């Protein structure tokens, strides 16, 4: 079984346990929150696949030091405008970037070409769209109403997002 290193900041949210549970089904999972370079070197050397929940300096470090390993990173709204990072990232070493909404995914290529005008588009990573999920069984009705309101606003801003019917019917994950 391949070893996968999952890096994310040390803070609690309700979806990380599900994420880790799914990864453990396919990989020997190592989880770290460290920003310590020495610890990161050891963990990164031991693992076959490197996955970061944020496109940040850790991903840049991996791309510089471990270009032979598959490197995958999520990229969210607040990273999309970091010119220093996006313009200098060794994109050829990053295998895939995951987005949580289609708008950011569509914006990605334009931002890279803006921040790194000389980059060869063939060196850009593959992109994937994976919406953040919410386990509705873990929330009371007040929480669900807050999420539905946020989902409604998001849908209005991003018309490519699936219908909110999935929040109220079908699987318990929306």
Q: Check: CB of residue 96 under 8 Å from CB of residue 72.
A: yes
Ordered structural domains, the chain, with CATH = 3-132 (3.40.50.2000), 134-174 (no CATH)
Residue 132, token pair as written in the block: 């953040």
Q: At what angle do helices 37-46 and 57-65 cross, to 10 degrees?
A: 50
pLDDT tens by residue, the chain, 174 residues: 999 999 987 766 677 788 888 899 999 999 998 888 899 999 999 999 999 999 999 999 999 999 999 999 999 888 999 999 999 999 999 999 999 888 999 999 999 999 999 999 999 999 998 886 655 566 554 444 444 444 443 343 434 433 333 333 333 333
* Tokens matching residue 33: 């929150």
DSSP per-residue codes, 94-148 = --EEEESSHHHHHHHHHHHHHHSTT--GGGSPEEEE-----BGGGS-HHHHHHHH
In which element (H, E) is residue 18 found?
helix 16-26
């Amino acid at each position: 079984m391949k070893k996968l290193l999952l890096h994310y900041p040390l803070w609690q949210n309700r979806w990380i346990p599900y994420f880790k549970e799914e990864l453990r089904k396919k990989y020997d999972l190592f989880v770290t929150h460290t920003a310590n370079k020495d610890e990161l070197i050891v963990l990164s050397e031991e693992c076959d696949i490197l996955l970061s929940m944020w496109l940040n300096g850790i991903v840049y470090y991996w791309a510089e030091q471990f270009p032979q390993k598959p490197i995958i990173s999520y990229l969210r709204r607040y990273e999309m405008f970091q010119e220093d990072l996006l313009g200098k990232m060794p994109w050829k070493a990053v295998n895939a970037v995951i987005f949580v909404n289609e708008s950011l995914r569509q914006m990605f290529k334009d931002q890279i070409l803006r921040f790194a005008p000389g980059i060869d588009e063939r060196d850009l990573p593959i992109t994937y769209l994976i919406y953040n999920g919410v386990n509705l069984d873990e929330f009371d009705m007040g929480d669900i109403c807050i999420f539905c309101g946020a989902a409604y606003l998001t849908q209005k801003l991003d018309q490519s997002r699936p219908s909110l019917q999935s929040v109220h019917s079908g699987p318990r994950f929306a």
